[in-house]
Structure 1
Amino acid sequence: MQTVLYARVSTADQTIAHQRKQAEGAGFKVDVVVADEGVSGVTTALRERPEGRRLFDMLRRGDVLVVRWVDRLGRNYADVTETIRTFMHRGVVIRTVINGLTFDGATTDPMQQAVRDALIAFMAATAQAQAEATKEAQRAGIAHAKTQDGDTYKGRKPSYTREQLEIVRDRLAQGTSVSAIAKETGLSRQSIYRVQSNPAEAEAALARWAA
């Protein structure tokens, strides 16, 4: 049996090392890291990613698949639910760093199965909804940046990276407290409140600085 961390990074500001550090900080003893870089979770199914395909070949009954959150597997509802169910059918346990969720196919109790499947569906739907909200915020932010007077004026450089902004938005959507988000990301509470109050401007700032 082995514990495999799957990491997906889609922007330059995201790092595989950071996702591994998060997993180990949450108590996981990672045996193998499998990672895809520069791959979209919206348009590319796990089976279609170079390293994602490896998971279907290497994972066996009793293995544990660790992901930062279900959005690392994908941001498409149908793809994520099918992927999780496929692995559970093989006897693989899927665990998330964020929220400490566990999905496995061990239970035979119909009520427990129903609760598990409902949670899988909810998490997959949330991942897709957040991806769609992020794209909309990015479009609004870029449009906002282009309409500002004096395109050469960038304003203050953002105190956050693309990865930090995505984490902040994810946690806010999950109802995580501002204090907890600040501790996880290293950002000030004021920065997080600004993102919360005006996500379009947060995207605009990154767009102006080509982040």
Structure 2
Amino acid sequence: MKTILYVRTSTAEQTIEHQETQAIDAGYQIDQVISDFAVSGVTVRFAERPQAPRLFDMLRPGDVLIVRWVDRLGRDYDDVTNTIRTFMSMGVVIRTIINGFVFDGASTDPVQKAIRDSLIAFMAATAQAQSEATKSAQLAGIKHALQSDSAGHKYKGKKPSYTREIYVGVQSMLGLNSGTVSDVAREFGLSRQVVLRIRDTPDAAERALTRWGM
């Protein structure tokens, strides 16, 4: 059996090394890293990514597939759930770095299967919400840029110290009660003050991201 880390990066802030370090810090022993670089999770289905065929070919029953979060496995609800179920049908166990979720198709207990399937549905829905928020923010950023004067004098406020992906991840982790504010801050490399700001004034945090087209 082997443990494969799948990494998808779409921005300069998302690095292969960072996600690999997160996996190692979470206690995983990685045998191999498979990465899709500069691939959008908003528009590209998992099966259409360059490394997807390689993953399907190399993974065997009992192997473990590590991903940072379920949004690495598809662009929307249907894509994420289909990808997870396909891997489970192959006997592959999927584990997430964030929250430490485990999706294993070997379970035969109906209650455990119901809990697993409900969790898959919830996490996939959250991933789609993130995708839609990203698309909305991109459109808002374009609109904002067009409305600015040619000298760029329109004041946008201080640039957020977090990306939209991190913003959604922080909200998800807080919403699932998956750790203290300090735990969340360490997970995403933020200060406690920033995490508290996202928690207590999410609308303001969202507007800041939108103003900067993030």
Which range, TM-score by smaller chain? Answer: 0.7 to 0.9
Counterpart residue type for residue 187 of structure 1: L
On the 8 A contact 2:160/2:208 being kept in 1, the answer is no
Q: For 1:122, what is the secondary structure of its paired residue? A: helix
SS at match of 1:34: strand
Q: Distance in 2 between matches of 1:68 and 1:200?
A: 26
Give 1:21-170 correspondences, 5 Å limit.
21-144=21-144, 146-147=146-147, 151-152=152-153, 158=159, 160=161, 162=163, 165-170=164-169
Following the alignment from structure 2 to structure 1, what is the Cα–Cα distance between the partners of residues 155 and 21?
Answer: 33
Say if 2:204 is the partner of 1:201. Answer: no
Gaps of 5+ in 2: none
How far the C-alpha of 1:157 sits from its partner, in A, is 5.8
CA gap of 1:95–1:54, structure 2 versus 1, over 3 A, is same
Percent of aligned pairs with the same amino acid: 56
| Matches of 1:24 and 1:47, distance apart in 2 | 26
Distance (Å, rounded) in 1 between the aligned partners of 2:145 and 2:207: 9
Tell me how far 1:102 sits from its aligned partner.
0.5
SS of the counterpart of 1:6? strand
Alpha-carbon distance in 2 for matches of 1:138, 1:7: 23
Amino acid at match of 1:204: R
Query: Aligned partners of 1:57 and 1:182: how far apart in 2?
Result: 37
Structure 1, gaps ≥5 residues long: none
Q: Is the 8 A contact 1:8 1:36 kept in 2?
A: yes
Sort the Cα spacing of 1:178 and 1:196 in 2 relative to 1 into closer, same or farther, 3 A. Answer: farther
CA-CA distance at 1:153 after TM superposition: 5.6
Deviation per CA, 1:107-150: give whole Å up to 9, x if none: 11122212211211111111011111222233334434554576
Of 183, 190, 193, the residue aligned with 1:180 is 183
Cα deviation code 1:55-109 (max 9, x no counterpart): 1000001100000010011131111111111111111100011111101111111
Aligned residues: CA RMSD: 2.4
In structure 2, the CA distance between the partners of 1:112 and 1:184, relative to structure 1 (3 Å rule), is closer
Q: CA deviation at 1:5?
A: 0.2
Q: TM-score, normalised by structure 2?
A: 0.84
User: Between Structure 1 and Structure 2, how many residues are aligned?
Assistant: 205
